[in-house]
Structure 1
Amino acid sequence: QETPVKEVKTETEVTESVTKKASRVRSKKYVAARRLYDTNKLYPLSQAIELVKKTSLSKFDGKIEAHVLGMDMGNIGEIIFPHLELASKKIVILNDEILAQIKDGKVNFDILIATTVTMPKLLPFAKILGPQGLMPNPKNGTLTDKPEETLKKLSVAKTIIKSEKKAPVIHQIVGTVSQKTEEIVANINELIKVVKPIKIKKLVLCATMGPGVKCEVVK
């Protein structure tokens, strides 16, 4: 029996998909916002961000998103954005108190760190922790002989940059409409650095509710 070959979207197919989504009926405000700039022009980052802010249609403080058409798929890398607030995660080191909570079915943490000495105590609970991705393992650094040091490292908010499953397209929040433009520029530059400029075919910025603005990427 032949192994099925996974289908990968080409750049043309990705562009067509985006075009089809964009072709849906837009509001008058959206259409008016798009008329404020040249939709075919590539703008420098700071100018593009200002346009995104100007064309944001939400009454709330919307997010600013970066949509990148690259060349690689899967996990691209990790970033510590210099100016991006992320939801904090509860990280704990396995001890008798945490073990008792797990036994009682109370899993009140996002990341669990264990040592090679304490790890065997978790094996009876593999069916509970495993499906939730909470079992410590050396691959992600949560099974370690230096738990305190690992706790400090993991407490720094990292963002995993990854593409869509079937296309080399990345969608990443890089700031908010109310944020300083220079801070958003710094965040985007970190994203570009991880993805690698030479591998970026297209970079578009937009607000949560607003049209997309194409950006220049210095190779």
Structure 2
Amino acid sequence: MAKKISRRMQAALEKVEPRAYEPLQALNLLKETATAKFDETAEAHIRLGIDPKYTDQQLRTTVSFPKGTGQAVRVAVIARGEQVQEATNAGADVVGSEELIDEIQQGRMDFDIVIATPDMMPKVAKLGRLLGPRGMMPSPKGGTVTTDITDAIGAFKAGKQEFRADRTGIVHVMFGKASFPAEDLLVNLKALQEVIDRNRPSGAKGRYWRSVYVSASMGPAIEVDISSLRDLKTTEIAA
């Protein structure tokens, strides 16, 4: 049985044409179709020409959004000794050592990011089955295994975000709020595009970018013209 489309969604769908929009047009349309009664999240869904089952075609990295994400990020830090106090002073929401690892194993999940110091990783490894599927397992590539606790906490709370391509080669990233000015959303989307290009896997062959769609969290998908996004200069956005 087909799922019934709400009147709100039907009205939003009618505004979106089946074509690729210029980036700023797409983001203005995202804002226009964000008609829920709360401030919806701006999402990007990017299909890449990679097959992540091969190690040289995997994409996992971080992006720092210049305009932030508009979201409060809860950071957990697993460390020991003086770095426990350093993490607390730097604004971590949850801090601990072996006892925090035990609490996470028992189901504690009141955080969005987990940062760990390298010396704690042998113990953190046992959390892989819990944190891995949620995308929260600390990793050096993601910037979440580090000795520089203060900088890492500050960066993630300011809008840095870790992401990876899923098993079908699609990247799903939240890059702001629908209430942001379209120009700010474009700055963030451009930053994401540049990071994805810089981190192109060595095994990626042929056409790397296949499609880019943006949407509000409760809105319809809007296709973005890939070439226009990649050709856009950051200075042109500011202008």
User: TM > 0.5 between the two?
Assistant: yes
Give the Cα–Cα distance (whole angstroms) in 2 for the partners of residues 47 and 195 of structure 1.
22
Task: Tell me what 1:65 maps to.
Answer: 43
* 1:195 aligned residue: 196
What residue is the counterpart of 1:215 in the other structure?
224
Q: Deviations over 1:153-209 (max 9, x none)?
A: 4221132221222x1111111111111211111111111112229622111111111
1:102 maps to which residue? 99
The structural deviation recorded for 1:87 is 0.8
Change (3 A) 1:27 1:137: closer
- Number of aligned residues: 181
- Alignment check: 8 A CA contact 1:79 1:159 kept: yes
Aligned match of 1:20: none
- 1:55 is the counterpart of 2:56: no
Query: Are 1:30 and 2:9 matched, yes or no?
Result: yes
CA positional deviation for 1:151: 1.5
Distance 1:180 1:95, change over 3 A: same
Percent identity for Structure 1 against Structure 2? 23
3-state SS in 1 of match to 2:75 = coil
RMSD: 3.5
Q: Tell me the alpha carbon deviations over residues 94-146 of structure 1, each in whole angstroms, 9 at most, x when there is no partner.
A: 217755x739956799333255xxx6xx97xx3xx4322599987777777xx
Please state if 1:79 is matched with 2:63: yes
Q: Which whole-Å CA distance do the structure 1 matches of 2:73 and 2:190 have between them?
A: 22
Deviations 1:2-45 (A, max 9, x none): xxxxxxxxxxxxxxxxxxxxx854223322222223x2221111
Query: 3-state DSSP class of the match of 2:150?
Result: helix
Contact 2:214 2:223 in 1 (8 A): yes
In 1, the alpha carbon distance for the partners of 2:151 and 2:5 equals: 45
The answer for the alignment partner of 1:130 in structure 2 is 125
Normalised by the size of structure 1, how large is the TM-score? 0.66
Structure 1 residues 94, 196: closer, same or farther in 2, change over 3 A? same
Instruction: Give 2:234's aligned residue.
Output: none
Give the alignment partner of residue 151 of structure 1, picking from 146, 149, 152. Answer: 149
Structure 2 CA distance for partners of 1:24 and 1:163, relative to 1, 3 Å: farther
| Structure possessing the higher radius of gyration over alpha carbons | 1
Provide the rounded CA distance (Å) in 2 between the counterparts of 1:55 and 1:137: 36
CA distance in 2, matches of 1:182, 1:58: 21
User: Which runs of 5 or more structure 2 residues have no equivalent in the other structure?
Assistant: 53-57, 85-95, 132-136, 199-206, 231-239
Alpha-carbon distance in structure 2 between the residues aligned to 1:184 and 1:160: 18
Measured in 2, the distance between the counterparts of 1:55 and 1:142 equals 35
- Residues 176 and 131 of structure 1: CA distance in aligned 2, closer, same or farther (over 3 Å): same
SS of residue in 2 equivalent to 1:179: coil
Separation (CA, whole Å) in 1 of partners of 2:127 and 2:211: 35
Q: Using a 3 Å threshold, how does the CA distance of structure 1 residues 59 and 153 change in structure 2: closer, same or farther?
A: same
Aligned AA (1:26) = I
8 Å contact 2:44–2:175 — kept in the other structure?
A: yes
Shift of 1:53: 1.2
Distance in 1, matches of 2:20 and 2:49, equals 19
2 CA distance for matches of 1:138 and 1:184? 28
Residues 89/136 of structure 1: CA separation in 2 closer, same or farther (3 Å cut) = closer
**1:113 counterpart residue number:** 117
